[in-house]
Structure formats: C-alpha cells, structure tokens
Amino acid sequence: MILVDLARLARVSLGHPLARRAPLGTAVRIARWQLGSRLLACPVVVPFASGTKLVVERGMTGATGNVYFGLHEVEDMAFVTHALRASDLFVDVGANVGSYTVLAGGVSGARVIACEPIAATRARLERNVAVNQLQARTRVEAVAVSDHDGTVSMTSDRDTMNTVALEGGVEVPARTLDTLLAGEVPRVLKVDVEGHEAAVLRGASRTLASEGLEAIVLEPGGSEVDFVRATLASHGFEAHRYDPFARELVATVEGSVHNILFVRRGALAAVRERCRSAPPIELGFTRV
C-alpha cells in the first residue's frame, strides 16, 4: 500500500511548482511522512513556514500537502502571506485545520477571524493556533458562514471537503459574514466552502462594498458559479493569478488549481506593491 501511495504522490508532485524546484527533497519528505506517519500513528508537530508549525495527522489531505511541498496551495498561500501586514485583518471562511490562519497570523502577523463549524476540525484548528501562540490575534468562530443567521446542516466526515448538506449531516450555527464582522473589514478574505460560495456572498453585501477589502481568494464552484463571478465583478473585483516567484499579479479568467484570486480594481497597484515588498516566506529548503 505504501508503494502505491508513494507512486501516486510522485505523480502529483510533478505538477507542483515547489516540488519541481526541489524534486529530491520533495521525494524524501513524501517518503519520510508516509513511513513515519504509519509508524507513529499520532499527531506530529512539523515545521511550517518562517518558523511556524503545524500539527499534522495521517489523512489530512491539505495539511500533508504542506509537509510534502512547503506550501500546498503555493500561489494562494504565498499571496495571502505576501499581501498582509501586522495591522491587517484576515478572514478565513472554512478554515479547516488552519494552514491559512497560521500563515496570516504567524508569518504576516495579521489579526485573523477563522470560521470552522465542524467541532472535530475546529479542535485541530485551535490546536494549530495554540502551538503557534496565536491566541491573542486569532478569533475562532464555531459557525458556518452563509446567507442567513440561524442554522445549517453540514457533512462532518469528509476531511477538507465538508460542506452544507441538502439532507442529513449535523446541525451547526450559521451567520452571514456581515453579521459576523459587525462593521470590521478584512484586507484579504479567503472562502473555501465547497460549493456554498454563493450563499456566503449573498450574506456579505456590506463587506463586499467596503473599499478596505482588497482581495478575495475563492473557489467559485457549485451550481452558481456565474452568480459568484457576476457578484464579485459588480463590486469591482477582477480575476487574477499570482506568481509567487516573480511577485506578480496577472489578470486571468482562471486561477490556480483550486482557487481564483479576485483583486479590487482600485486596489491593484497597492496590492502589487505590498506583495513585492513583503519579506520572503522561509520554507527550510527554499524561500518564496
């Protein structure tokens, strides 16, 4: 089984920008994790970016991607880290175990509001906040962000793929983004809610209209992808791709493998300059 997993991961790594820059080191990290996680069979604290840490367990798809490659979603993770400063607010909707939260709070020094409704996943998020001593600048919210204040039903057994369920699932509190923020405006917003993006935007009209919100990392999936794109366009957001090595934003109709980066048209020059002047993210084997 381990040989099958190693072969599969080797194929995946061929397409990852950081793996291509350090193929031998990537192969060693993959093999070490695949063997070590089977032997230990318990949570492991591993180095992350610029002195931060992650507590990782076998089966955590996104988190183990950080173990293998340094930054699992390198374009989006690098953008969030480069674009934020210590005075900023970052909102992580669908925070999962907290990889983006740790980057924003632990590397960039930003304040973070991290939303994760599933109790078991939220416990892992809070564990990563604690191991990086980010409690003072991180507010963890046990809510699903949606288009109404009340409750929603969610799946709870799909690792990084939990989403609002049409039937069954567990009942969790729901809040709109506008209610949750109560007038606060993030500089950068990340939304990873597996097809529920349209509902998040419907409950965020005041936030989207705020000029202080300069960029949104979002996967416009689900059946309402046209609504998502049209809503963001109506608020002046344009789709871009971020090249973390050149520190450049390029207008595009597509994003990275998972997400699209939307930048407010009027803030583009300022965002570009902030990314270019940010300190590098140290990954041990390289820097971005």
pLDDT of res. 159:
58
pTM, rounded to two decimals: 0.92
pLDDT of res. 257:
47
Sign of the CA dihedral with 124 first, then 129, 135, and 141 last: negative
pLDDT of res. 219:
85
pLDDT of res. 256:
47
Tokens of 95: 């925070």
pLDDT of res. 155:
76
pLDDT in tens, 95-134: 999 999 999 999 999 999 999 999 999 999 999 999 999 9
Q: Which residues of the chain have pLDDT under 70?
A: 1-13, 156-168, 254-258
> Is the Cβ–Cβ distance between 102 and 54 less than 8 Å?
yes
- In angstroms, the CA 208 to CA 236 distance is 9
> In the chain, what are the domains?
2-66 (no CATH), 72-277 (3.40.50.150)
Q: How far is CA 13 from CA 22, 27, 55, 69, 278, in A?
A: 10, 9, 22, 8, 27
pLDDT of res. 182:
96
Say which residues have a Cβ less than 8 Å from residue 45's Cβ, sequence separation at least 6.
Answer: 53, 54, 55, 56, 131
pLDDT of res. 165:
56
pLDDT in tens, 33-58: 988 888 888 899 999 999 999 999 98
Q: Which strands sit side by side in the sheet containing 188-191, from one edge to the other?
A: 138-141, 111-115, 89-93, 188-191, 215-218, 260-264, 237-243, 248-251
CA terminus-to-terminus distance, the chain: 34
pLDDT of res. 254:
65
Say which residues have a Cβ less than 8 Å from residue 202's Cβ, sequence separation at least 6.
Answer: 147, 176
Angle between helices 2-13 and 23-40 (to 10 degrees): 150
pLDDT of res. 40:
84
pLDDT of res. 167:
57
* Closest of 114, 117, 77 to residue 261, by C-alpha: 77
